[in-house]
Amino acid sequence: MITTRFPAPIPDPCFSSNAQQCGRGWRLTSAKISCSWDFETRPWFPIKAKGKVKFLELYLIIFGSSFSIAAELFICPEKHQPLADDWSIPSEHLNNFEHSSISLFFLIYATVALCASRSPMQVPYGLLHVVAAFAFSQELLLFHLHSADHMGLEGQYHWLLQLIIFVCLCCTLLEIAAPQSILVALVRSMAVFFQGCWFIQMGLVLWIPAFTPKGCKMNNENDHKVVRCKDHMTEMRAKALANLQFNWYLATVVIFTLTLYSYMVNYLKARTQYLPLDHKDGISNIEIMKNAELASVPKHKRSNQGSHSSVELEAFAAVEVGR
């Protein structure tokens, strides 16, 4: 009986506590060893590049939120400031403050996420999810209690928007309890993407006369442009079209997501590596691939630096091979 003993495993970005935890994907044969995907969700998605490009998503959120606040409070108002002569908030500018407050929360989220990612301070897992949940809840609250008269066609578009925001909020909170559920992370990404598409559709229909439904037109009411329909039947038709557009957008997002997901699964499956076993020396010739970026992160600590999927490989601390 020949006993071969190997050292403890090398720190790996996808380090598993024991073989059984990764055993859902372990397939050990006489010649090959492999491990399945072990997904762990994170609050934002980094770019696989060095330097500041890695934080591109956070920089885009910061820039977009800052520009939105500037547009609502300083660019769009006729006096380039939203306050009245007595420094009070006029009624026609209440929605400007509401929209800028929504952008402010997303600016806070992106800033906190950027500082947490670039500083050596350890941030508890789930903190950034909670901050993102605050942003979505604030967005949902302000759109639900909007100061503008969201009646008719405009109200229908905003009601459908609240459904998407609610899904974003629920999925963000669920990710804290189920960090390894790829379905929750996938639905959250779909909802955020869907929300952006629906904002574009709302801008086209509610702000550009060429895209308003037949029988409806833009009216100037209390210094606001509002889409009004000429009668009840025309309004019902316009609302039905909004519902159809919502369903068509949802179908497009689902098809796009599933197509992209299938492509990524096949692409990553093609890159799966099988490490041969040496029957003479056991598995002493197996080299575990290291990720230089995450190799120093302890296995029991979750990261807040974006989302990633990784293949986890772990060698036993001691392997006995009998002949």
- Beta-carbon count within 10 A of 121 CB: 7
216-221 and 224-229 beta bridge pairing: antiparallel
**Candidate from 53-62, 161-170, 271-280, 290-299 with smallest mean pLDDT:** 290-299
Q: What percentage of the chain reaches a pLDDT higher than 90?
A: 44
In the prediction, which pLDDT does 302 show?
Answer: 53
- Beta-carbon count within 10 A of 283 CB: 18
Which span out of 4-13, 27-36, 65-74, 120-129 was modeled with the highest average pLDDT? 65-74
In the prediction, which pLDDT does 119 show?
Answer: 84
CA distance 139 to 162: 9
Q: Maximum distance among all alpha carbons in the chain?
A: 93
Pairwise pLDDT comparison (144 vs 16), residue with the higher score: 144
Query: Structure tokens of 151?
Result: 């009646």
> Which among 15, 13, 68, 109 is positioned nearest to 317, based on CA atoms?
15
**Candidate from 88-97, 148-157, 272-281 with smallest mean pLDDT:** 272-281
Q: Could you tell me the pTM of the whole model?
A: 0.73
Those residues whose C-beta lies under 8 Å from the C-beta of residue 256, and which sit 6 or more positions away, are none
pLDDT higher than threshold 60 for residue 181:
yes
Using one digit for the tens of pLDDT, what is the confidence trace for 212-268? 999 999 888 776 788 889 999 999 999 999 999 999 999 999 999 999 999 988 887
Give mean pLDDT, residues 195-200.
96
In order of 27, 48, 129, 274, the CA distances from 5 in angstroms are: 21, 37, 43, 22
Give mean pLDDT, residues 151-157.
89
33-34 and 37-40 beta bridge pairing: unpaired
Those residues whose C-beta lies under 8 Å from the C-beta of residue 39, and which sit 6 or more positions away, are 180, 181, 182, 185, 309
SS3 call for 195: helix
In angstroms, how far is the first alpha carbon of the chain from the final one? 6
